[in-house]
Structure 1
Amino acid sequence: MVKRGFDIVFSIIVIVTVLVWMVPIVTLIIFLTTGERPFYIQERVGKNGFLFQIYKFRSMKGVPPVNDPLLSDEESFRITYFGKFIRKYRIDEFPQFINVLIGEMSIVGPRPERQFFLDNIIVHIPRYKELQKLRPGITSLGQIRYGYADSINQMKLRARYDLVYLDNVSLLTDIKIILYTIIVVVKGKGK
Structure 2
Amino acid sequence: MIRLFKHYIPHAVLLLGLLDLFLLVAAGELAWLTRASQAGIEVGPLRERLAPLAGFALTVWLAMIAVGVYGSEALRSMRYACARLMVAISLAIIALSLIDFLLPGLTFWRSTLLFAMVISAVLLVADRVLIGSFLGTSAFRRRVMVLGAGPRAARLRTLAERPESGFAIVSYIAMTDGEQAVEEAIARLAIHDLGRFVENLGASEVVLALEERRNALPLKDLLRIKTHGVHVNDFSSFMERETGRVDLDTLNPSWLIFSDGFSSGRMVSSAVKRLFDIAASGLLLVLASPVIVLFALLVKLDSKGPAFFRQTRVGLYGQPFQLIKLRSMRTDAEKDGAKWAERDDPRITRLGRFIRKVRIDELPQVWTVLKGQMSFVGPRPEVPRFVADLEQQLPYYAERHMVKPGITGWAQINYPYGASTEDARHKLEYDLYYAKNYTPFLDLLILLQTLRVVLWPEGAR
TM-score range, shorter chain: over 0.9
- Would you say the 8 A contact 1:117–1:152 is kept in 2? no
Q: Which residue of 2 aligns with 1:166?
A: 435
Match of 2:401 among 120, 124, 132: 132
Matches within 5 A, 1:65-144: 65=334, 68-73=337-342, 76-144=345-413
Match of 2:308 among 11, 35, 39: 39
- Number of aligned residue pairs: give it: 190
Distance 1:75 1:183, change over 3 A: closer
- AA in 2 matched with 1:115: P
Distance 1:161 1:95, change over 3 A: same
Distance 1:75 1:48, change over 3 A: farther
TM-score, normalised to structure 2, is 0.40
Distance 1:23 1:82, change over 3 A: same
DSSP 3-state at the match of 2:324: strand
CA distance in 1 between counterparts of 2:426 and 2:326 reads: 26
125-134 or 59-68: bigger deviation:
59-68
Q: Which residue of 2 aligns with 1:4?
A: 274
CA distance in 2 between counterparts of 1:147 and 1:74 reads: 12
CA distance in 2 between counterparts of 1:74 and 1:64 reads: 15
- Higher Cα Rg: structure 1 or 2? 2
- Shift of residue 147 of structure 1? 2.8
Q: Which residue of 2 aligns with 1:149?
A: 418
Distance 1:159 1:72, change over 3 A: same
- AA in 1 matched with 2:391: I
- Shift of residue 42 of structure 1? 0.5
DSSP 3-state at the match of 1:59: coil
RMSD, aligned CA:
1.7
- Shift of residue 63 of structure 1? 2.3
- Shift of residue 126 of structure 1? 2.4
- AA in 2 matched with 1:161: Y
- Would you say the 8 A contact 2:359–2:454 is kept in 1? yes
Q: Which has the higher contact order (CA 8 A, sep 6+)?
A: 1
> Could you list the runs of 5+ residues in structure 1 that have no partner in the other structure?
none
- AA in 2 matched with 1:11: S
DSSP 3-state at the match of 2:312: strand
The answer to whether 1:53 aligns with 2:322 is yes
1:26-60 alpha-carbon deviations (Å, 9 max, x no partner): 01110111032110000000001111010111001
- Would you say the 8 A contact 1:108–1:138 is kept in 2? yes
1:67-104 alpha-carbon deviations (Å, 9 max, x no partner): 63211118911111111101111111111101100010
CA distance in 1 between counterparts of 2:388 and 2:344 reads: 21
- AA in 1 matched with 2:278: I
> Could you list the runs of 5+ residues in structure 2 that have no partner in the other structure?
1-270
- Would you say the 8 A contact 2:333–2:347 is kept in 1? no
CA distance in 1 between counterparts of 2:438 and 2:363 reads: 23
- AA in 2 matched with 1:182: L
1:109-148 alpha-carbon deviations (Å, 9 max, x no partner): 1110111211222223321211211110001111111132
TM-score, normalised to structure 1, is 0.93
- AA in 1 matched with 2:424: M
CA distance in 2 between counterparts of 1:66 and 1:48 reads: 28
CA distance in 1 between counterparts of 2:295 and 2:373 reads: 23
Q: Which residue of 1 aligns with 2:285?
A: 15
152-161 or 173-182: bigger deviation:
152-161
